[in-house]
Amino acid sequence: MTEPILTLSGVSKTYKGGFTALHGVDLSINKGEIFALLGPNGAGKTTLISIVCGIVTPSTGTIRVGGHDALADYKAARSLIGLVPQELSVDMFETVLATVTFSRRLFGRSGHNAYIEQVLRDLSLWDKRDNKIMELSGGMKRRVLIAKALAHEPEILFLDEPTAGVDVALRRDMWKLVHSLRERGTTIILTTHYIEEAEEMADRVGVINKGRLLLVDDKTALMQKLGKRELDLTLVDALDAVPAGFEQWQLSLENDGRTLRYVFDATQEDTGIPSLLRALGDRHIAFKDLETSKSSLEDIFVDLVEERA
Ligand SMILES: Nc1ncnc2c1ncn2[C@@H]1O[C@H](COP(=O)(O)OP(=O)(O)OP(=O)(O)O)[C@@H](O)[C@H]1O
């Protein structure tokens, strides 16, 4: 899984009005991985995808897709990519089957019925193949966009906000589909604001903000490295300050002195909790409740984006 299928080097984009949406992005995507690009609105996610797909021209930098230069060798590069856009871009009067078959033919592939049938079955669209797009529900229309993107058997699938505004059932189906595509060796790059989605699906996560790629890391490593745990002790009597003699623990007072918070590293063998509780007992600092919480990818993301804002 270490061979890169997509490489971006020094990719920047300044739009006509002078706004710079991407600043020197370097990124390498491995064959067969699921990569989540996480960023708030306007971070540059769609711009980045559009550049790789040849919809937007970069101001600087190079992009290589499966060994092809995405600018000089546009057709070969593009044929390896399937794009599921955020917005609906289909002919409402066409049938599902005709829409998907048309997309396949656009890339010079013959009408390979068995493949198209499989894609439509995987997306629960086979029974709707003769329906016009306008007769489908919103969720079904989203599925058609995916079927269209997969029609020419791409090696890389871009999903731009795949589950924005879809219901829980469709979201679960999407996740299942992404996993089964990965099993078949398809590389998947998804953009999302939903941390939960990245947490659930991705092998690696990239965080982008204001056009800059802030970090790229293995998801589990990221969560371990940056993930903190907190122990909140609700005190019987509020304190004015963290008492002296507790310097060995990273403590703070919250909630007008009623909560003593201990931030610890859960990956360590000795968390420091038993000794802290003993020390509190020795000093007769009583608490009536205790609670621990784990920082999620969301906390990590918010911290990062705020820190570098
Ligand atoms: N054609 C354009 N001309 C000028 N500015 C643009 C153009 N397209 C996008 N931008 C600006 O570039 C920035 C990045 O936009 P982009 O759509 O890439 O962000 P995004 O991360 O995909 O956001 P969202 O999550 O809201 O889709 C935004 O500030 C946007 O206003």
Indicate whether residue 14 lines ligand 1 (CB < 6 A): no
**Euclidean distance between CA atoms 233 and 283, whole angstroms:** 15
Asked if 76 and 152 count as a contact pair (C-beta separation under 8 A), the reply is: no
Residues 6+ apart with CB under 8 A from 3: 30, 31
Is the C-beta atom of 12 inside 6 A of ligand 1?
Answer: no
ipTM for the complex shown: 0.94
Report CA(133)–ligand 1 centroid distance (Å): 28
Instruction: Tell me how far the alpha carbon of residue 43 lies from the centroid of ligand 1, in angstroms.
Output: 7
4-224: CATH, from 1.10.10.10, 3.30.70.20, 3.40.50.300, 2.102.10.10: 3.40.50.300
User: Does 154 contact ligand 1 (Cβ within 6 A)?
Assistant: no
* Separation between Cα atoms, residue 29 and residue 187, nearest integer Å: 8
Of 11, 12, 15, the one to substitute when testing ligand 1's pocket (max ligand atoms within 8 A of C-beta) is: 15
Closest CA to 146 of 201, 193, 86, 192: 86
| Cα gap 243→23, rounded to integer Å | 47
Instruction: Work out the widest C-alpha separation in the chain, in whole angstroms.
Output: 79
Q: How far is the C-alpha of 252 from the C-alpha of 239, rounded, in Å?
A: 11
Can you give the pLDDT at residue 262?
93
Q: Determine the pLDDT at residue 299.
A: 66
| Domain regions of the chain by residue span | 4-224, 227-307
Q: According to the model, what pLDDT value does residue 99 have? A: 93
Q: Within a 10 A sphere around the Cβ of 188, how many other Cβ atoms?
A: 24
Using the mean position of ligand 1's atoms as its centre, give its distance from the Cα of residue 247 in Å. 47
Q: Which helix (DSSP H) or strand (DSSP E) does residue 46 occupy? A: helix 45-52
Instruction: Please tell me if the CB atom of residue 213 comes closer than 6 angstroms to any atom of ligand 1.
Output: no
Hey, how many other C-beta atoms are within 10 angstroms of the C-beta on 210?
A: 17
Please give the Cα distance from 195 to 170 (Å, whole number).
Answer: 17
pLDDT tens, N- to C-terminus, the chain (309 residues) = 467 999 999 999 999 999 999 999 999 999 999 999 988 888 899 999 999 998 899 999 999 999 999 999 999 999 999 999 887 777 888 999 999 999 898 888 876 688 899 999 988 899 999 999 999 988 888 889 999 999 999 999 999 887 777 777 778 878 888 888 888 899 999 988 777 777 778 999 998 889 999 889 888 877 666 666 789 999 999 999 999 999 999 899 999 999 999 988 776 778 889 899 999 999 999 999 999 876 666 666 667 667 655
**Any ligand 1 atom below 6 A from CB of 85:** no
Q: Whose CA is nearest to atom 30 of ligand 1?
A: 42
Does ligand 1 come within 6 angstroms of the Cβ of 46?
yes
**CA dihedral sign, ordered 8, 11, 15, 16:** negative
CA distance 155 to 52: 14
Given this model, what pLDDT does residue 142 score?
Answer: 87
**Domain 227-307 = CATH 3.30.70:** yes
The whole-angstrom separation of Cα 182 and Cα 171 is 17
